[in-house]
Amino acid sequence: MAGSSHQRRTVVYQTLEEFLEDVRRLVSADVVTVGNWSFAQILEHLARAIDASIDGFSFRSNWLVRTLVAPLLKNRLLTRPMKPGFTLPKRASHYLPQPDIDLGNAVSHLETAAQRLETTQPTAAHPFLGRLSDREWLALHLRHAEMHMSFVVPGQPDGPVEGTAE
């Protein structure tokens, strides 16, 4: 629940399958989320990001940021944990899930997006980092998933209801 005494989890994924196994485990458990989004919103957001890496993004960072700042941060974003708190620009609002998203639909969308990522080369340019290799896209998706999934915490035996997450 928002403002809960629960702390974020430390999450590290080496493969897409590890990420999906964590999702499946948490879907079948009582969970709380310790930020601003529900578990369903987190999964929907991650699915939309995967889809965009294949289908393309509807926005780009400005030229100065892409050219001067992004190259300095690229390795860090691909290899180290992401920090929460980044706010997407208004023109990227499509990637923000609706508050009433159904968990079953979000899980299904994520499974479909993950399957696409395993079988379709992500060729879209990242709005901040530009062109990425398949391996770089996978690393970025895993770091992104780690950050968001760290807000999904298994609940106590007394069964708290799902709250909200970043």
Query: Is 65 part of any domain?
Result: yes
Q: Are 7 and 142 in contact (CB under 8 A)?
A: no
Query: Is 8 part of any domain?
Result: no
The number of distinct structural domains making up the chain is: 1
Query: Is 9 part of any domain?
Result: no
Query: Is 163 part of any domain?
Result: no
Query: Is 165 part of any domain?
Result: no
**Using one digit for the tens of pLDDT, what is the confidence trace for 45-69?**
999 999 999 999 988 888 888 888 8
Query: Is 116 part of any domain?
Result: yes
Query: Is 137 part of any domain?
Result: yes
- Best CA proximity match to 146, nearest among 11, 46, 53: 11
Task: Give the position of tokens 């992104």.
Answer: 144
pLDDT range class, residue 97, cuts 50, 70, 90: confident
**Using one digit for the tens of pLDDT, what is the confidence trace for 67-82?**
888 888 899 999 999 9
% residues pLDDT > 90 (the chain): 67
pTM of the model: 0.86
Range of the domain at 114: 16-83+97-154
Query: Is 6 part of any domain?
Result: no
Between 65 and 113, the more confident residue is: 113
